[in-house]
Chain A
Amino acid sequence: EDQVTQSPEALRLQEGESSSLNCSYTVSGLRGLFWYRQDPGKGPEFLFTLYSAGEEKEKERLKATLTKKESFLHITAPKPEDSATYLCAVRGSQGNLIFGKGTKLSVKP
């Protein structure tokens, strides 16, 4: 069964304190791993797609990496505006996305 597990559930950082979010996945043949950002009461906003182990993508203070079993979202010198819930998903065998429950990130000034 395809499955996505994210950790930690919640993460509190001070502004400038770098850290990483984890996404572990089980899927029969990876057809894409996706990272989204979701602000309260809004729809998920697409960040990155990764397809193969060793691949990396960057956007501002965010960097996503991928291995055969997990993905990391590294946040370098975060700012309060980076506070959000970060969602990880994999593409299932039917073409749908299977989401993890997310990591709620809070960055305090």
Chain B
Amino acid sequence: DADVTQTPRNRITKTGKRIMLECSQTKGHDRMYWYRQDPGLGLRLIYYSFDVKDINKGEISDGYSVSRQAQAKFSLSLESAIPNQTALYFCATSDLTRQEQFFGPGTRLTVL
């Protein structure tokens, strides 16, 4: 079974709709992250959380919000989706002692 899972894997929605992307992990890591990936722009950090009570904005947080429901769960919401939020979204986790992050399989989001 995958250590980091994301749901849904693909989503097509319309402008103005509210969307939630979910991430779950079984690695026991405290730290969780949300990134988006666009062609030519690479991976950019949206939000990150170092524990359940700690939420931090990343490079491109405008238009997004997050919720850390438990150590193992971190959700990303688009309150009112717009077409330029069409992208691949990745969740990642890491622990306190090792720096490397482990990524989920991604969610392909299309906003029409």
**Are the C-beta atoms of A91 and B104 separated by less than 8 Å?**
no
Give 7 new A-B contacts, CB below 8 A, not counting A43-B92, A44-B43, A101-B40.
A31-B99, A41-B88, A43-B4, A43-B103, A49-B100, A87-B43, A96-B33
Q: Are B102 and A96 in contact (CB under 8 A)?
A: no
The answer to whether B41 touches A101 (Cβ under 8 A) is yes
**How far is the CB of B3 from the nearest CB of chain A, in Å?**
11
Query: Which B residues are in CB contact (< 8 Å) with A97?
Result: 33, 43, 45, 101
Q: Choose among A45, A49, A101, A102 the residue that contacts B99 (Cβ–Cβ < 8 A).
A: A49
Shortest 3 CB-CB contacts between residues of A and residues of B = A43-B103, A101-B42, A99-B43
Tell me the A residues contacting B by CB distance below 8 Å. 31-32, 34, 36, 41-46, 49, 87, 89, 91, 94-97, 99-102
Whether A43 lies near B99 (C-beta < 8 A) is no
- Inter-chain contact count A-B, CB under 8 Å? 54
- Across-interface contacts of A100 in B (CB, < 8 A): 42
Q: Which residues of B contact A (CB under 8 A)?
A: 4, 31, 33, 40-45, 48, 50, 56, 58, 88, 90, 92, 98-106, 108
Query: What separation, in Å, do the CA atoms of A82 and B50 have in the docked complex?
Result: 34
Q: Within 8 Å CB of B102, what residues of A? A: 46
Contact of A34 among B42, B88, B100 (CB under 8 A): B100
- Considering the chains assembled together, what is the distance between the CA atoms of A48 and B108 in angstroms? 26
Of the residues B44, B101, B103, B106, contact of A41 by C-beta under 8 Å: B106
Are B100 and A102 closer than 8 Å at their CB atoms?
A: no
Check A96–B45 contact: CB distance below 8 A. yes
11 contacts between A and B (CB under 8 A): A32-B99, A34-B100, A36-B103, A43-B4, A43-B92, A46-B100, A95-B48, A95-B50, A96-B58, A97-B45, A97-B101
B residues near A89, Cβ cutoff 8 Å = 43
